[in-house]
Amino acid sequence: MFTMECSTTIDQQLAKEVRNNLEMILMENTWLLNQIDFNEVTILANNIKAANRIFIIAAGRSGFAMRSAAMRLMHLGLNAHFVGETTTPAIQEGDLLIAASGSGTTSSIVRAAEKAKSLGATVVALSTQTKSTLANTADHLILIPAAEKEDHEGNRSRQYAGSLFEQFLLLLTDAVFQSLWKMSDTPNTELWKRHANLE
């Protein structure tokens, strides 16, 4: 009986802790929302609309978030590719590369941005840094002032490593998708026809 009561108390404490952590995560993302220059985000949306094809690159957990963005753009009927997949074609003039890197120094992402620029493609970077190789290479930068992975002091976020940046990438690109979808006036049913059906 004592063990069961003890376990119940621990579970209740854990449930409360998880709820508190979720509230903290939402608060941090709301704080970050108020730091963003949405004129920069408008430039991203306009470049997506104008591009022949859209290429997206990011690494690690940021890569998972940006794969989600590529999927939504595909649902919208755009020619979108995630860099590194075996079916990703060559980037060319008139294309757009969206490159996400918190530090702005991830070597594979910087190299891709430099290659894209050399071929006449437009590069839009999403990063926590305004002074980095990626920021200097990109045509446009969206500053997301979240904590970097190696910011262990917790000055900008109480979360581990680059979690806030990674979460916000997903939320921001979903918001851009929602706006582009509304502007396209495409019915939900049309988007659904493009949803994967071999799962």
pTM of the predicted protein model: 0.92
The class of domain 37-85+94-193 in CATH terms is alpha beta
Task: Note the pLDDT of residue 1.
Answer: 47
Active-site residue set: 166
The Cα 42–Cα 184 span in angstroms is 15
| 122 phi, psi to nearest 5 deg | -90, 140
Tokens 């706006």 correspond to what residue? 179
Domain boundaries, the chain: 37-85+94-193
**Cα radius of gyration (the chain):** 19
The Cα 26–Cα 24 span in angstroms is 5
Task: Note the pLDDT of residue 16.
Answer: 95
> Which DSSP string corresponds to 145-180?
-PPPTT-TT-SS-SSSTTHHHHHHHHHHHHHHHHHH
Residues forming a β-bridge with 100? 126
**Residue 166, CA atoms < 13 Å, CB-side half-sphere:** 16
Tokens 């530090």 correspond to what residue? 103
Low-confidence spans in the chain with pLDDT less than 70: 1-5, 148-154
